Chains A and B, each alone.
Chain A
Amino acid sequence: QQQVKQSPQSLIVQKGGISIINCAYENTAFDYFPWYQQFPGKGPALLIAIRPDVSEKKEGRFTISFNKSAKQFSLHIMDSQPGDSATYFCAASINAGRRALTFGSGTRLQVQP
């Protein structure tokens, strides 16, 4: 599997602040870039996803920024809440749905009240 590099490994943000998680990829054949949220003991749940034909996608408090030339994408969580405390994974796939996802290493987010 091609690698997807994710940073930071952990992140502490105050309530109401902005959480930013970054990912970089190598394989230019990737055409689907989702972000997943995972709580302990649960399977990952899709937060938001983007395809490389757009540079930004926003859904509620969550925004993906995508830079195709730099092969980077990031997740911004606006107005972070304690309930957002979880592990976040970026991922990428080729021919979305027909090939498995390659996951980043994960970011443990803690939002302090």
Chain B
Amino acid sequence: GAVVSQHPSWVICKSGTSVKIECRSLDFQATTMFWYRQFPKQSLMLMATSNEGSKATYEQGVEKDKFLINHASLTLSTLTVTSAHPEDSSFYICSVPDRGNYGYTFGSGTRLTVV
């Protein structure tokens, strides 16, 4: 499968500030990446599909102005949580489709805590 690097692994920020999370595909160029959010003891919920060179596609109920996604290169997608609030505290995980379009590899996740 793909080799995916996600950073940071955890971050604590103050309410009202912004946080950027990076997802890198290390071994091949990914035109599409996916961002998920996972609350404690819950499943992964798709937030948005990141498309290289174009706007991200957001799932219903996900605020695109709050969760900014940038896929400026074929190896990097970023998720910026703007004006973070305690309710944004969650585990954010990116996913990259494996080469040949069979399967997906997930990043190690980012634990965001907003205080």
Contact = CB atoms under 8 A, between A and B. Distances in A.
A42 interface: yes
Interface in A76-110: 89, 93, 95-98, 100-106, 108
Nearest to A9: B41
B101 interface: yes
A104 B101 CA distance: 21
A29 B103 CA distance: 16
A42 B91 CA distance: 9
A43 B6 contact: yes
A113 interface: no
A101 B104 contact: yes
Contacts of A60: none
A74 to B, nearest CB: 18
Contacts of B25: none
A89 B93 contact: no
A1 B45 CA distance: 10
A103 B91 CA distance: 15
A34 B43 CA distance: 15
A45 interface: yes
B103 A46 contact: yes
A106 B44 CA distance: 9
B44 A41 contact: no
Nearest to A51: B102
Nearest to B106: A43
| The 5 nearest A-B residue pairs measured at CB | A97-B101, A97-B97, A43-B106, A43-B109, A100-B34
Interface of A: 1, 32, 34, 36, 41-46, 49, 89, 93, 95-98, 100-106, 108
27 contacts: A1-B46, A32-B102, A36-B106, A41-B91, A42-B108, A43-B6, A43-B107, A43-B109, A44-B93, A44-B106, A45-B106, A46-B104, A46-B105, A49-B103, A93-B104, A96-B97, A98-B32, A98-B97, A98-B101, A100-B46, A100-B49, A101-B44, A101-B46, A101-B95, A102-B46, A103-B45, A106-B42
